[in-house]
Structure 1
């Protein structure tokens, strides 16, 4: 006699519980050895796997409206026919490709954990160009060693290399670091301190993105983003202001180590 529907549901539930227990039993705690940490990469799959191709994210690009990240090739191909996020279905307007930006942090994390990806990509690129009859540019030749007093190269000296002087102005760099803290005058119990208040991100990020980031981290409905107020040096910031513009126009407080933004929301 065939199982009744409720029996089938029970069987599926028991099977899922068994799989979850087996997965938990195979979990290994990260091992900390000085400055090195050894861990199973599968614990990061939730954050580093592209939901479109189900592989590790390559050339990470993030949708600025909802902060979901995908491979560049995957999300650009998806947005040829769609105008919403494939994860949360938030609308991206008539020009969805304008709403995706290169995510340097996710890209760097993937490259550090999986350094072989860069070599594999270079090899695939070389094979592709070879298949169509084109040659890739050879790597640049090393600079000659400095000559000694006899006019001959001195193997013991390293070649002189010009280093471009860095501009230390916070608003001219690609990335900026700052803190996001709850305003002392905040009366809304939903807004709590962030677990990690120090943020490092692109200087092109706007105040609107910061509001959504805060709500997303605190698991608050993103529809409340317009109600959030963010202050910098006592001034309420406009939603469209970028971090680069804010630091350039308001400067930084020399008495603090990191620029400090305060957020609040009415009860």
Structure 2
């Protein structure tokens, strides 16, 4: 006679799918590579603003920049969404509500309104247009791209201001894509390298706008919306 299997409840797995810091279900589960402890992305990023140690085991994650030791666990995220009915939809709705709330108002002056920036795989070239999909299903973010003025050193290359500095795009856009957008709009040669900075810190090519907003912009005092990114010709220190 076949044995009847025990039916497992979600609470049976809570120890594995809840965050040590907020005690809620893991949202964008992010693992510390030094000790393999996992937390909500927002929780661990905020924790590292004040400490370089893992909040669970106390190990020093990194002497200066513990954020470098974080990795998103997309597989665990999918497991959690399958275990907890309605969690994915709830989180996606909260993200959309947040970005809608923080977008510039429709009655803002013309020079403060955003053009829509299409990702390369949309077939767009960065111009605004209603016919492009522009990843509208993604959470959107508005940013301001400011030209960082040159220091006036002899032989230093220069770049100019954009005609439209305010753009709106998917929060999943990377710095690498922003650089391509700038090169296109400023008509720069392919060999021309740019640095993109937030609050004076050079951002990596693979950093997404969402990651920069959460780790470099939102947590720095009185910063307003939209998020400001600066660009300049790449400076070689070697």
Which bin holds the TM-score, normalised by the shorter protein?
0.3 to 0.5
TM-score (norm: length of structure 1): 0.36
Greater relative contact order (CA < 8 Å, ≥ 6 in sequence): 2
> Radius of gyration: which is bigger?
1
Q: Given the two structures, how large is their TM-score scaled by the length of structure 2?
A: 0.40
